[in-house]
Amino acid sequence: MRATTIHAPFDLRVEDVPDPVVQDPTDAVVRVLRACVCGSDLWAYRGQSARRPGQRIGHEFLGIVESAGADVTTFRAGDLVVAPFVWSDGTCDYCAEGLQTSCPRGGFWGTPGSDGGQGEAVRVPFADGTLVRLPADAASDDHLLTALLALSDVLGTGHHAALGAGVREGSTVAVVGDGAVGLCGVLAARRLGAERIIALGRHTARTDIARAFGATDVVAERGEAAEAAVRELTGGQGAHAVIEAVGTEQSMRTAVGIVRDGGSIGYVGVPHGSGTGLDLSVMFDRNIALRGGVAPVRAYIPELLPDVLDGSVDPSPVFDLTVGLDGVPDGYRAMDERTALKVLVKP
Amino acid sequence: MRATTIHAPFDLRVEDVPDPVVQDPTDAVVRVLRACVCGSDLWAYRGQSARRPGQRIGHEFLGIVESAGADVTTFRAGDLVVAPFVWSDGTCDYCAEGLQTSCPRGGFWGTPGSDGGQGEAVRVPFADGTLVRLPADAASDDHLLTALLALSDVLGTGHHAALGAGVREGSTVAVVGDGAVGLCGVLAARRLGAERIIALGRHTARTDIARAFGATDVVAERGEAAEAAVRELTGGQGAHAVIEAVGTEQSMRTAVGIVRDGGSIGYVGVPHGSGTGLDLSVMFDRNIALRGGVAPVRAYIPELLPDVLDGSVDPSPVFDLTVGLDGVPDGYRAMDERTALKVLVKP
């Protein structure tokens, strides 16, 4: 089959690789119908996260089960399924409590020895624990299929951020980060009943999506000016709930600056850089909580799926560029240059 | 009256100061029956927190209302009351939601212009919002009075840490810090239904109190050896809930090292030093939450008071040395040299 590989910073290739097969009886092989490029893939693309030459890449996909091992009981060939961005065994303590990202037998797509999502097919370990079935008729609904793909990462990650930030009915929420995850954080906050959602961002194409997703206010300023603007909008107090969907020192500093005393920062931006951006003395004096991390999206798919199926939650606008498999390197380039928000891949 | 003042590092004096009087109609004056010395007072004593020469000190006290301003409606002369370690107006948004430490009109005892707890009497701003009434007959019960004094800070702070750590029925809890707050964290965790409480500490006098307060295990190791010991005790996973009651970089690092994936660190140790001890990448990968800060003990007193009154929660063993007002400097010395855990002051 053909799949995307990374050989060096900015050197992505789409090349022939061995066809995936069932190796363990708990495996399934999934033929990819939709995949996409994540903001976190760019860290590998830019060389800021190390990769071995030739390693696969991509961790978001949905598709059709092609074959399943003897011990797979939940799925069979022909099933439409979505995969979360980590696989997990479905049987350990952590999986049982919905923290599949800590499964000792779990792993990330594209790590050495595993397939990545940006290819024609993927061998899925622990298929019963990992995959979630989708209605068969969704396979013929192009728009719905795109929306469902967001369940593999960005929608669940936005939901995780909103939970970490403590969003509930009537909350005032501020969202730092106008990428696909930040925008899905807006969507998740609205779904959880937030009354006011302040999106920080300066790119109109993105803030327009934020407004469509439920943002009531947009703050285009950055740094201290952004903090002042959010305080101005919140009677000087700041937002109860802050979603941090960037992962830089500056974005975390902004998050601390705009959160209300006693509030919480739900952080899902993969941490980068040497500093944390956290001033613990300020957080201490103001009782600011920090909750989040890598999102156990497998736990959230069953809850979010019905809302995506009935259209009440539609994350599909985050995909603003579609490519075929051969177009993946161009897609990365577009996201790296911020001419695309999130790239959809149709292999 | 006589009160404790601080003039320079290690230079505490007990000297004559003006008698407190009602200045604002919302003030009350409280004659101090019991006060004490806090671990955080030692930071001022050692010069690690700046103080103006002659500034008052001490933020924990209970006593008898001596006079009250015209607008004080809840208290009158003769009432036995306990004061939390900050005053608060009782009417703002933050007070209404139980975060009195963020009250814009609130303040800390002993800040310039205010009285400290380690003196004969205290002018209490916003008496209605600040003070909590105690049963009059407690005034003649020496043991109970000592236990009730812990409501002014350490018991409520331990409770705040336990809430921040997410302690609930059946939790496994680890407590970093064997001072009075850490020990009260043990007590609070037991009260909230923790099944297993692991106290980190190497001073037998203190770990004996921890066991009496409900600790099921004691870990005497420090640093990485302590982390290994806690993991050994928890099937390799760590503790769901960790109470951080020290405030140093090392103690926070230990807290991160012993918390279970998906768990929470309830931090109440006043942060000291330049580093936070937080590795955000580790916290991200393991979904570790951080919640806590300066405890709004005013909010907790009504909930904790009945348990102290009926003896089901008795924090009094944390007081292991009693002095009169003239003995306060000796009391600080004893705590600084760790020959005393917490010093009770009977003015």
Q: For the segment B296-305, what is each residue's pLDDT rounded down to a tens digit?
A: 999 999 999 9
Helix (H, G, I), strand (E, B) or coil at B55: strand
pLDDT in tens, B281-297: 999 999 999 999 999 99
Return the amino acid letter for B58. Answer: G
**pLDDT recorded at residue B273:** 73
User: Does B250 touch chain A if contact means CB atoms closer than 8 Å?
Assistant: no
> Searching chain B, which residue's CA lies closest to the CA of residue A163?
B289
Handedness of CA A295, B243, B100, B73 (dihedral sign): positive
Q: Is A99 on the interface with B (CB under 8 A)?
A: yes
**A14 in Cβ contact with A329 (< 8 Å):** yes
DSSP run (H or E) holding A285: helix A280-286
Question: Do A153 and A58 touch, CB atoms closer than 8 A?
Answer: no
Structural contact between residues B32 and B120, judged by C-beta atoms closer than 8 angstroms: yes
Residues in B closer than 8 angstroms to A291, CB to CB, are 264, 289-291
Give A175-186 pLDDT, tens digit per residue: 999 999 999 999
The answer to whether A59 and A108 have CB atoms below 8 angstroms apart is: yes
DSSP β-bridge partners for residue A83: A61
Share the mean pLDDT of chain A.
Answer: 97
Task: Please state, for a pLDDT cut of 90, what percent of chain B lies above it.
Answer: 96
- What is the largest distance, in Å, between two alpha-carbon atoms of chain B? 61
**ipTM for the whole complex:** 0.96
Res B147: pLDDT: 98
Neighbouring CB atoms inside 10 A of B284's CB total 18
What are the chain B neighbours of A296 within 8 Å (beta carbons)?
287
CA distance B102 to chain A (A): 7
Dmax (CA) for chain A in angstroms is 61
Q: What is the mean pLDDT of chain B?
A: 97
Strand partners, A188: none
Task: Say what the pLDDT of residue A272 is.
Answer: 79
Give the residue from A263, A261, A242 showing the smallest Cα distance to A251.
A242
Contact list in A for residue B270 (CB cut-off 8 A) is: 284
Q: Tell me the nearest-neighbour CA distance from A327 into chain B, angstroms.
A: 31
In tens digits, chain B (347 residues) has pLDDT values of 999 999 999 999 999 999 999 999 999 999 999 999 999 999 999 998 889 999 999 999 999 999 999 999 999 999 999 999 999 999 999 999 999 999 999 999 999 999 999 999 999 999 999 999 999 999 999 999 999 999 999 999 999 999 999 999 999 999 999 999 999 999 999 999 999 999 999 999 999 999 999 999 999 999 899 999 999 999 999 999 999 999 999 999 999 999 999 999 999 988 877 778 889 999 999 999 999 999 999 999 999 999 999 999 999 999 999 999 999 999 999 999 999 999 999 99
B54-111 pLDDT, tens digit each: 999 999 999 999 999 999 999 999 999 999 999 999 999 999 999 999 999 999 999 9
Q: Is A320 helix (H, G, I), strand (E, B) or coil?
A: coil
Q: Are A145 and A139 in contact (CB under 8 A)?
A: yes
- The answer to whether residues B130 and B83 touch, using CB atoms and an 8 Å cutoff, is yes
Rounded Cα distance, B77 and A141, in Å:
76
- Domains of chain B from N-terminus onward: 2-153+296-346 (3.90.180.10), 157-292 (3.40.50.720)
Quick one: tokens of B265?
């660190």
How far apart (Å, rounded) are the C-alpha atoms in residues A136 and A81?
Answer: 9
Give residue A277's pLDDT. 86
Give the whole-angstrom CA distance, residue A59 versus residue A40. 10
* Residue of B97, B252, B289 with shortest CB distance to A291: B289
Looking at the complex, report in whole angstroms how far the Cα of residue A291 sits from the nearest Cα belonging to chain B: 4
